Structure 1
């Protein structure tokens, strides 16, 4: 292999961070499919054929005994001898009723035959083992309980082999006894089901029907069950009962009286081969077949446990989603009424000058728009652009603009936290606004952003970050997310006094608050979340200023969006872990640990991690049913989201037209976010390291909507 070929093969290899989430989702679906298969939701056929003519059925079968042996092409039937009763139980084992039936049989020293389905045997292997250990016989009742007269020979073989596989894995045996689903007496064979019996005989099985039906499935009462199960004139019989398929309390009660009553009359309750005096129907399974059976049963058990956890997870995510939407709506209404009422103020008007920090790394395409939007501010400011080792001439471009009040500080590339700390060190004023180099402000943004500092308890303020490039489909989806998810969240967290994040695109800080917590840290990839949590723990209030709008350039490609959200998700997990001691801190600073961290962990980490379950069960329900209920449930969740989104858009005075793409966002965009978060979890759990991921900017956001982008005219000058 040439070096070039080797390099190409290496490039084509799927990265582990993509492969692991894919394998996880595939395994999840496989477990769910296996669970559906063993619960007769997949490949199940519930049709029951009506009676057909009987002219093709041998007379010796129609008038013969309930045991039909068609092995080797020779057809014979047998009756159970006098004074012998063979109790048979269909459709189990059931975890509730089978143990009670076994207890009664053991108490009265009676034996029986259990015709088990593979679905139940694989789910409850311990009960099959108990049947064998206590001397009972086990027969096949197919795997999924279909009417075999509707099935092809290959499906019949599949039903038998899967049923035997479940027996091998459960008790290490193979059986020759078989009872068809929906069977009754020998004279009920007809032209449709008799060929099936002949074929099954050719496969080495003895077919067992019955000649005494207790009709316990009708639940007529214990007395009626005993009467119908009792043979007449001392005849032997195969008695049909059930240990599964519903409430079998009457069956258990009837057995406890029926067995001793007939034992007193000289009847013997034995299994079939004992009654007929023939070789046992069981044979041991060894070698590869045994291990295949055990592997199958273990897989079924795993699927039961996994899907049980998934169902609990679905309930949790349902509660979280409804709870979050309810909290957002209720608390957002409270926030809007409080901040919009006549006469509301944070305190005395804040008019002091502000330092605006713009960290920039290779922002040449958009830095001019950013700086010019700041020059149009109606609040006195100084602008400090911290060039973090750009290689595209960002610093030279800003200097060439020669805008008053704008300074450029250059440093070797050290990362965004270091650039911001450098800016704080060079800032002239005590109120500091931080923004991204791809963001533009409205003229009133800085003024609105710093007004909450009229309250001396406020240490930081989150602004209203909005998507500037929302005309594309991906941009529209992010626009919905920003307005609904981020800003409704911030209103909720503001009321609860546990704001988790000051957005990097638009946030303001007191210098004293920053200095007390040690400034911006590079311990995490979410330095904005990290500093916000640190301020809470230091006792500062963090609030939301809805009118401080900033327009940012959202990622325009799936790859860029993936990179951004991967960093956000992983950085949030890092910040939660870094500040985990807040859970146990007391005093005013402990409020964030008692309220904020649990909410952030539940809504921003746990809920998105469990949210794929909604779509997994949606897909499963659409394919395997119940389809109508599944669609109604999904539309219900979508309706709740639509109500929240519409309210959020109304609060932010946004056009409702973008909500047209909300259903598509839920189907496509949300799935991408799931995989991103799952990848972040895997990175965190495996101890992986994630580097800062710089997004490629286009400069498409030239100015705030409704405000023309114009060169600075010199009509007003920022301070400094």
Structure 2
């Protein structure tokens, strides 16, 4: 019997071939093909977006959600005490079904927990307030959602550029899958990797997605250089079973507003320990809009990463979370009671 979360992960394989094969047999569609809207019929999604001072990107994000071909979608936005025009944008946009403004800045993980607590669908789509999705992505997710599967999307970072309308310029083409580090990874020489501490004697190009057979080979706690299966769960765009998310307690409260990183990795670990498989959707990519001060923002984020990695490593030595519904509800309700309704 597994005594720690790391041991629970090591006991789980990630062989999802039966899942993808059965989908093809049922629909005639390749697992990685953009999905006709009709295949999403009967599957409801709750999209949860935390936002803090994302006025530069949020209108484009919500416009893209309004244009999705999947019909049964609930959009929940949690404003994490923004100080810019984000609350007004949320109130005025017709794509938003439910929105709260938190009384104080608690960080993305806690804000996502609030949104998940309010969500009504069996599948939660966690995404960032700077991810612009092609119109088929939510149908791709809805048609493949299962109570035992985490569906992973990808991101293509886009430099900040405004058009004549003073809004971000979004390319007409699909995002490039290889722009995501989980697909094409430029491994440097002589630099300790933040996650594992590995140091490589020469630079190389790694292909985590291809070289692990769509993450199958990352099951049972195995790694691909610096990468393991939990790290493939990135909340820029990921769909998780609502019941499993609730059972593991959602995002851990230790990942507060004072820092960046590893909150999604720990959620991935908890869901894998719970028995979920992690399956990529190569066609589900989004444009990840950089802020105007992207270099400074990323520098500030990475400065806080070592502390979060330390917390993650500690949590992996603790028992796998289970039956955490009441604790998640308590934490979410404490924030909801102080929040203001926007929509």
TM-score range (shorter-chain normalised) is 0.5 to 0.7
Q: Does structure 1 conserve the Cα–Cα contact (< 8 Å) formed by 2:24 and 2:31? A: no
How much is the aligned-residue C-alpha RMSD, in angstroms?
3.6
**Structure 1 segment 220-619 matched on structure 2, within 5 A:** 344-345=30-31, 350-351=40-41, 352-379=43-70, 380-401=72-93, 403-412=94-103, 413-454=105-146, 456-458=147-149, 460-469=150-159, 479=179, 481=181, 483-485=183-185, 488-491=207-210, 492=212, 494-498=215-219, 499-501=229-231, 502-524=233-255, 525-554=261-290, 557-568=294-305, 570-580=307-317
The SS at the match of 2:145 is: helix
Once the two structures are TM-superposed, the CA of residue 570 in structure 1 deviates from its matched residue by 4.5
Return closer, same or farther for 1:557/1:344 CA change in 2, 3 Å cut-off.
Answer: closer
Once the two structures are TM-superposed, the CA of residue 452 in structure 1 deviates from its matched residue by 3.3
**Partner residue of 1:296?**
none
For 1:550 and 1:542, the matched residues in 2 are separated by: 19
Return closer, same or farther for 1:340/1:558 CA change in 2, 3 Å cut-off.
Answer: farther
Equivalences, count: 242
Return closer, same or farther for 1:512/1:464 CA change in 2, 3 Å cut-off.
Answer: same
Higher gyration radius (CA): 1
For 2:24 and 2:305, the matched residues in 1 are separated by: 31
For 1:451 and 1:506, the matched residues in 2 are separated by: 16
For 1:481 and 1:518, the matched residues in 2 are separated by: 28
Q: Does structure 2 conserve the Cα–Cα contact (< 8 Å) formed by 1:440 and 1:550? A: yes
**Structure 1 segment 4-153 matched on structure 2, within 5 A:** none
Which has the larger share of helix?
A: 1
For 1:569 and 1:449, the matched residues in 2 are separated by: 33
Once the two structures are TM-superposed, the CA of residue 530 in structure 1 deviates from its matched residue by 1.0
Return closer, same or farther for 1:468/1:483 CA change in 2, 3 Å cut-off.
Answer: farther
Structure 2 residue runs without a partner (length 5+): 1-16, 33-37, 162-175, 187-205, 220-228, 256-260, 323-343
Compute the TM-score of the two structures, normalised by the length of structure 2. 0.61
Q: Deviations for 1:181-234, whole angstroms, at most 9, x for unmatched residues?
A: xxxxxxxxxxxxxxxxxxxxxxxxxxxxxxxxxxxxxxxxxxxxxxxxxxxxxx
Q: Which structure is richer in relative contact order (CA contacts within 8 A, separation 6 or more)?
A: 2
Return closer, same or farther for 1:532/1:541 CA change in 2, 3 Å cut-off.
Answer: same
